[in-house]
């Protein structure tokens, strides 16, 4: 068909294109809802930017100590106002999400304290941070104990068990909003709020940190609106909007965030040092784009579920379920299928489209991991990407897409590749 010519050139068959169109027909209402949330969140960011008088002077690069860095200090106020917190630490010196989380934890836990995770095992890379898997400089090495309460059979918080697990030493409760590499559902902000209220009732004064990775801007409120003392995330995911070249954030109470600043730089220095290195304009512009980029990624996730579910693959969340993050996991059932899926995503990438992703041993992860990522920013998973550990149930975690059009094309290419390798029939 003539109208498919360009898509055919990309490698898509008429069959797959038509199947994609038939799926799209069902999504109009959901996409409209997503656009509405994006609009409200866009307003939130705009309000924070105008309130803090963002100007061209904020975009100047600084070097050395970075004393009186207007761009850095104003950006931190913009984040704090957008997420309704007293303070924020938003910096390129925070190298990634894991670093931001490690900073938040180690700054707010002291020897003898207990850290409690109430959603079962935390994200893979935090296992070494905590010392579940031994590592130099882990919290365990510093004398911070760790315990966890698994989720109940429905994948929800087990309040009875949580109450029992809170001891006189429990100082900080950690909650992970998105599912990470597990097949549980992600939590809504309302559910997180319920858990925060519960643990604070059991033990007033307890701090709560929410790993907010992948959740930012998918709802109208954030965990900081429902009592979290700290929300933490990566700038190469949602809030960086695809433009931030590196960085992480911690937003929260003044008390918690200041401790994080002392841990990140040095006691006595705190937030006063940290040059912006000339990349701060991209952090502003990325944050400005973040609500709509997140919306594009979310549309991609829903489209993927609607596409794969009728073909017999288990999707989490299900196609019809509401979303609280941008991740779509699809149980593909075999290593072969994971490789084919990732190959398809890679074929549709703007960068490195010619490479073949293969499973490899990645630092911080127990199993081999496969990753498709043809991103402008290395490892940026707000850009169209797919990854997953090579272990049962061989689930691939799909996320990102700076534009909805790209997300759609990438997902169609994944299906095309699975079909061409005889793994799926339409
Ligand atoms: C990505 C992610 C992290 C770690 O972030 P990195 O930037 O990869 O270090 C932590 N927790 C969750 C839930 C994540 O999705």
3-state secondary structure of 395: strand
393, part of any domain: yes
112, part of any domain: yes
Is 336 found in the same domain as 270? no
Domain final position from 287, 304, 327? 287
Separation CA 212–CA 249 (nearest Å): 10
Q: How many domains is the chain built from?
A: 2
Is 155 found in the same domain as 72? yes
Pocket test for ligand 1, best of 91, 95, 98, 218 (most atoms within 8 A of CB): 98
Name the residue among 242, 358, 371 with its Cα closest to residue 295: 242
Which residue's CA is the nearest one to ligand 1's atom 3?
Answer: 97
Separation CA 149–CA 136 (nearest Å): 25
- The torsion angle over the Cα atoms of residues 286, 291, 297 and 303, rounded to 10 degrees, is -160
426, part of any domain: no
Six-digit token string for 35 = 């656009």
Å from CA of 144 to ligand 1 middle: 22
Name the residue among 97, 16, 27, 42 with its Cα closest to residue 300: 27
User: pTM here?
Assistant: 0.96
Separation CA 189–CA 215 (nearest Å): 9
Cβ distance 256 to 108 under 8 Å?
yes
DSSP 21: H
Question: Residue 398 belongs to what H/E stretch?
Answer: strand 395-399
Give me the domain span that covers residue 324: 2-42+292-420
- Strand partners for 175: 210
Per-residue pLDDT of the chain (426 residues; tens, 9 = 90+): 688 999 999 999 999 999 999 999 999 999 999 999 999 999 999 999 999 999 999 999 999 999 999 999 999 999 999 999 999 999 999 999 999 999 999 999 999 999 999 999 999 899 999 999 999 999 999 999 999 999 999 999 999 999 999 999 999 999 999 987 777 889 999 999 999 999 999 999 999 999 999 999 999 999 999 999 999 999 999 999 999 999 999 999 999 999 999 999 999 999 999 999 999 999 999 999 999 999 999 999 999 999 999 999 999 999 899 999 999 999 999 999 999 999 999 999 999 999 999 999 987 778 899 999 899 999 999 999 999 999 999 999 999 999 999 999 999 999 999 999 999 999
Is 124 found in the same domain as 269? yes
Pocket test for ligand 1, best of 123, 240, 328 (most atoms within 8 A of CB): 123
Domain final position from 255, 287, 319? 287
Query: In this predicted model, what pLDDT tens digit does every residue of 198-248 receive, in sequence order?
Result: 999 999 999 999 999 999 999 999 999 999 999 999 999 999 999 999 999
Task: Assess whether the C-beta atom of 240 lies below 6 angstroms from ligand 1.
Answer: no
Six-digit token string for 290 = 């973040």
Cβ distance 248 to 91 under 8 Å?
yes
Domain final position from 287, 312, 328? 287
Separation CA 396–CA 418 (nearest Å): 13
DSSP 389: E
Å from CA of 305 to ligand 1 middle: 22
Is 384 found in the same domain as 268? no
Q: Domain holding 191: CATH number?
A: 3.40.640.10
Six-digit token string for 143 = 């004398």
Q: Which DSSP string corresponds to 111-180?
A: TT-EEEESSSSPPTTHHHHHTSS--TT-TTTTT-EEEE----TTSS--HHHHHHH--TTEEEEEEESS--
Is 326 found in the same domain as 225? no
Is 67 found in the same domain as 31? no
- Strand partners for 386: 372, 398
């Amino acid at each position: 068909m003539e109208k498919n010519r360009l898509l055919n050139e990309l490698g898509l068959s008429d069959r797959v294109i038509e199947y994609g169109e038939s799926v799209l027909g069902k999504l109009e209402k959901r996409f409209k809802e997503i656009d509405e949330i994006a609009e409200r969140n866009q307003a939130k960011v705009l309000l924070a930017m105008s309130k803090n008088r963002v100007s061209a002077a904020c975009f100047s690069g600084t070097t050395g100590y970075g004393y009186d860095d207007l761009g850095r200090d104003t950006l931190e106020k913009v984040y704090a106002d957008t997420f309704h917190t007293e303070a924020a630490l938003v910096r390129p010196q925070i190298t990634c999400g894991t670093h931001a989380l490690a900073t938040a934890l180690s700054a707010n836990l002291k020897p003898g304290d207990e850290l409690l995770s109430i959603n079962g095992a935390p994200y893979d890379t935090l296992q070494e941070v905590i010392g579940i898997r031994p590592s130099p400089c882990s919290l365990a090495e510093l004398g911070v104990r760790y315990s966890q309460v698994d989720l109940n059979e429905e994948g929800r918080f087990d309040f009875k068990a949580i109450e029992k697990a809170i001891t006189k030493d429990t100082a900080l409760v950690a909650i992970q909003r998105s599912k990470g590499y597990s097949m549980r559902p992600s939590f809504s902000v309302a559910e997180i709020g319920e858990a925060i209220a519960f643990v604070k009732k059991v033990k007033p004064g307890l701090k709560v940190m929410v790993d907010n990775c992948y959740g930012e801007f998918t709802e109208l409120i954030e965990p900081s609106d429902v009592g979290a003392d700290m929300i933490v995330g990566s700038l190469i995911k949602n809030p960086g909007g695809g433009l931030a070249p590196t960085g992480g954030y911690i937003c929260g109470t003044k008390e918690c965030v200041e401790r994080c600043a002392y841990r990140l730089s040095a006691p006595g220095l705190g937030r006063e040092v940290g040059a912006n290195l000339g990349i701060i304009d991209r952090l502003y512009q990325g944050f400005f784009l973040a609500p709509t980029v997140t919306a594009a990624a979310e549309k991609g996730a829903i489209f993927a579920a609607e596409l794969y579910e009728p073909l017999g693959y288990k999707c989490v969340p299900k196609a019809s379920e509401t979303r609280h993050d941008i991740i779509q996991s699809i149980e593909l059932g075999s290593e072969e299928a994971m490789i084919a899926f990732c190959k398809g995503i890679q074929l549709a990438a703007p960068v490195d489209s010619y490479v073949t992703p293969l499973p490899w041993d990645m630092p911080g992860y127990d199993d081999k991991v496969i990753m498709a990522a043809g991103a402008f920013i290395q490892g940026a998973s707000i850009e169209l990407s797919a990854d997953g550990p090579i272990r049962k149930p061989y689930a691939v975690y799909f996320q990102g897409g700076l534009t909805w059009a790209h997300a759609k094309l990438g997902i169609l290419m994944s299906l095309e590749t699975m079909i061409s390798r005889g793994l799926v029939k339409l």
